[in-house]
Chain A
Amino acid sequence: MSFHDPASELSQINAARAGDEIALHPWTVEVLALAKALHHASAGAFDCGVGRRLVEWSMLPRHLAARSQHALSDSSLAHMELLPGERIRIRRPICLDLGGIAKGYAVDKAVEELTAHGVASGVVNAGGDLRVLGVAAQPIHVRRPDDWRELAYLGALADGAVATSASYFSRRYQGRRWRCALVDMRTGAPIMKPSSYSVIAPTCAIADGLTKVVAADGDAASACLDRFDARAVVL
């Protein structure tokens, strides 16, 4: 699912032409299916098609096989169709990035593996996207968006996941504008507000994806959250 690896399945998807069908690893399909569900539930606020913007803003590498910006002007998950038998069809060329959901998914897979080995409690933490396995509540701290070296205590979590998105690490001045990697895909504009968006959800992939929806809505009362049994905290 790596954007950086030109031989990855994601790169195959991004190099595909209109009408191409691609067979994928079940995990990749699972991530894409979840991404589609979030895309639909959020009316497009969450959209892995963000890859195109991130390449344009030099936040992701431009691979040789990449399309011209014109051809990708409508890069959206909506143009990728899931087919039975772990295949997808590309209806229009797209540039996807799975960075907004795959890390959470990796955490969930790690927790599954732990559970399969009989581990009853633990925490898997992938740089802030984390999931607590078991009933022993873990304290959850997030960086303060006004000073990322400081932490704020949010609460205690058991048997669930938390993920956070914010612009403090990715924001940069590029092309005479401030940009960051957090984008409202309904408008294509980067979400530059000095806030951070945390979501607590049963699984980490969902928490990860939903942070982008909460960021686009700007407040913790996003309608999408109930659908996924999630809560949000905006700092």
Chain B
Amino acid sequence: MNWKPVAMFPLAALGAVSIPMVAHAAVYVSVEQAQRDMFGDQALTPSPVALTASQQDKMRDVSSVSLPFQGNRIWKAADGGWFVVDEVVGKHEMITYAVGLNADGTVRRVEILEYRESYGYEVAEAKWLAQFHGKGQEAPLKLGKDVENISGATLSSKHIADGVKRVLAMYGLVLKGI
């Protein structure tokens, strides 16, 4: 028997790692909260975009995410940054996440907004998501390369990495020119 207990007890300390586990939508973080986390008090202006078929194709090629990108959840920040909400499939259920971009198109922060699977939620941990900070369009965002795989959450971790890649591609194709 090999048991490695976590060091954090009593129950109050566990608050930092407790995670909602319901298999249907578990809203970790609201859009407003994520916006505040990433941009503080800055004014955010809704800036929805409509992608052409060719842009969707390019994004699909780059990221392998086949779900069409909905451009209706994008905000522009006063400092030139962007806040984008997107979705990818985890394993069976959708994961809704937000990517904050700096004015230069690099990743400011990634947050998981809604997670519906009953496991694999390690993708929501700040430590794992921190890997995306500063990534730009040229970043491979490949599991095992510049993004660490999470054992037991391989699909979710791959799909989130792909999702961030497609948001970066979308920035290059659409937002950069706005």
Contacts and interface: CB of A to CB of B under 8 A. Distances in A.
Interface of B: 1-6, 9, 11, 14, 17-22, 152
Contacts of A153: 6, 14, 17-19
Contacts of A201: 1
Nearest to B1: A160
Given A139-B152, A144-B11, A235-B11, A155 B18 contact: no
A231 interface: yes
Nearest to B9: A233
Nearest to B26: A149
A150 B3 contact: no
B11 A146 contact: yes
B2 A158 contact: yes
Given A144-B11, A146-B11, A235-B11, A137 B18 contact: no
Interface residues of A, number: 27
A148 B68 CA distance: 36
Contacts of A135: 2
Contact of A156 (B4, B11, B20, B22): B4
Interface centre among A152, A160, A201 (most CB of B within 10 A): A152
Contacts of B18: 144, 150-153
A195 B20 CA distance: 18
Interface in A41-67: none
A100 interface: no
Interface of A: 135, 137-139, 141, 143-144, 146, 149-160, 200-202, 229, 231, 233, 235
B3 A160 contact: yes
Contacts of B22: 149
Nearest to A153: B17
A143 B21 CA distance: 9
Nearest to B151: A136
A156 B20 CA distance: 19
A151 B21 contact: yes
23 contacts: A135-B2, A137-B2, A139-B152, A143-B21, A144-B14, A149-B20, A149-B21, A150-B21, A151-B18, A151-B19, A153-B6, A153-B18, A154-B6, A155-B4, A156-B3, A157-B1, A157-B4, A200-B1, A200-B3, A229-B1, A231-B5, A233-B5, A235-B14
A153 B11 CA distance: 11
Contacts of B14: 144, 152-153, 235
B122 to A, nearest CB: 8
Nearest to B6: A155
Q: Interface centre among B1, B3, B6, B20, by most A CB within 10 Å?
A: B3
Given A139-B152, A144-B14, A152-B14, A157 B21 contact: no
B11 to A, nearest CB: 5
A163 B167 CA distance: 43
B124 to A, nearest CB: 12
Contact of A152 (B1, B3, B17, B152): B17
A158 B5 CA distance: 12
